[in-house]
Amino acid sequence: MIDPRILRDEPDRIRASQAKRGASADVVDRALAADAARRAAIAGFEEKRAAQKAFGKQVAQAAGEEKQALLAQVKTLSGEVKELEATQGVAEEEWLSALKAIPNVVAEETPAGGEDDFVVIEEVGTPRDFAAEGFEPRDHIEIGRILGAIDLERGAKVSGSRFYFLTGVGAQLEFALVNMAMDQARNAGFTQVIAPSLVRRSAMEGTGYLDQGGGDDVYRLEGEEMYLVGTSEVAMAAYHSEEILDGGSLPLRYAAFSPCFRKEAGSHGKDTKGIIRVHWFDKVEMFIYTTLEDAAAEHQRLLAWEKEFLEKLDLAYRVVDIAAGDLGSSAIRKFDCEAWIPTQGKYRELTSTSNCTDFQTRRLDTRVRNGDKIGPVATLNGTLTAITRTIVAILETHQQADGSVRVPKALQPYLGGLDVLEPVKA
C-alpha cells in the first residue's frame, strides 16, 4: 500500500496518478474521510480513557457514599470506553481497507492511458525477411510437430485446453533455457532459488494480486486459503515478510524458478492455439530488495539483464514503456521486452520488469534498518525467461526451410553442443 503521508500531504498527486491510470479518484476521498474518522475515534477513545484513569485515582482516595457514587460513574465510563475502543477498531479497519484500495502512485515518466498507449523505447535487431529467403515461415505449432517438441493434442486430452506436453527437444529446450538463465543470474550476483508455487492468502494480498478483479485470473484451492501463483514474484515478495533487513545487505537479488499458473480469465478467444497463452508455464524470475533511492536505477539494471538474455538468443525485439492504465496496482513503472513472432507479423511480450517501490513491503511488513533508523524497502521484479513464449520465439525466428531450427550459439552448450534441431523421422 502507499505511504499514508502521501495521502495526507499530497492527495492531488494521487488524484493525478489515478487520472493517468484512467481510474476514479473517489478512492482518495474515501481514504481521507476514513483517516479523519480514524483520528477522531482515537482521540475520543484516548480522552475517555484518560477520564476513566482520573476517576480511578479519585475512587482510591474517596470513602463512604462519595466512593460509591464515584464507582457508579467509573462503571458508566468503563462501558463508554469499551464502546469507543470498538468504534476505534472499526475505524482502523475501514482506514486500512480504504488505504489498500489505492494503487501505487505511478512514476512521472510513465505514459498515461490504457493497453494501447505504450511508448516504444527502442527496437533491437531486424526481423527476418523470409520472403527474401524464398520460403513461408511455419508457426511454432507446426515446427513443434515436425521436431516432436510440442504435443498439444495429448495436453488437451489430459488437462484440457491451453495445456501441452514438451517432448524430446522441446523438453531439452526448457532445461537449456532455465540453466542458461540461472547461469546468467548467478554470474550477475543473484542468489538462485526454487520457489513454492502454492502460497497463503497473505502473500497474494501483500503483492496486490487480489486487488484487481478480485483475483479472477488466480487459481485457488477449494476449501483452503491457498493459491497457485502466476509468478514467483509472489513467493519472493513474501520471503522476507515480517522481517527487518540489514541495510548493509542491500540490494538482495534473487533468481527464482517456479511453475506458474494463470486462468487467463479475461483472454477467452485470444491465442487459444499453441503455447503463447497457456494455463501453466515455467519461469525464471528476478526479484530484488533495495532502497527507495536506488529503485529506479535497479529497474534499469533489470531491463539490461533481460535484454542481454534476449540478445544471446539472437531475437529481434523491442522495449516498450507500459502505460499507467495497463499497470498492476503495485507498480509505478513497467518495461516489457517484446520479441518479433514471424507468423503473427508482430511483437509479443516475452519479459517484463516492474518497479513496485515500497507498496508490497508495507503490506508484508518488510523494513530495513540503517543504524538506529528503521525505514521502508523497495521491491522490483523482472522476468528473465518465461519458457513457453521463449520457445515460440526461438522456433519461429530460427527455423529453416526443411523444418529444422538453428540453435543460437549461446544456447548450444546447454543442449549438449547441438547447433541444429532436426525434424524427427515419421
Nine-digit cell string for 401: 526451410
Catalytic residue, chosen from 38, 338, 389, 396, is: 389
Q: Is 15 a catalytic residue?
A: no
Which entry of 21, 262, 362, 367 is annotated as an active-site residue? 262
In the block, cell 530495513 appears at 368
Active site residue 396: no
Selecting among 277, 318, 369, 406, the annotated active-site residue is 277
Is 277 an active-site residue?
yes
The number of residues in the chain equals 426
What is each CA distance from 278 to 191, 256, 270, 416, in whole angstroms?
Answer: 28, 20, 10, 28
Q: Annotate 306-354 with DSSP letters as a single string.
A: HHHHHHHTT--EEEEE--GGGS-TT-SEEEEEEEEETTTTEEEEEEEEE
- The one catalytic residue in 200, 349, 369, 406 is 349
**What angle in degrees, to the nearest 10, is found between the helix axes of 169-187 and 140-147?**
110
Q: Which listed residue (17, 232, 258, 352) is catalytic?
A: 352
Q: Are the C-beta atoms of residues 339 and 398 closer than 8 Å to each other?
A: no
Rounded distance between C-alpha atoms, residue 276 and residue 131, angstroms = 24
3-state secondary structure of 223: coil
Strand partners, 285: 256, 383
- Which of the residues are catalytic? 262, 277, 349, 352, 389
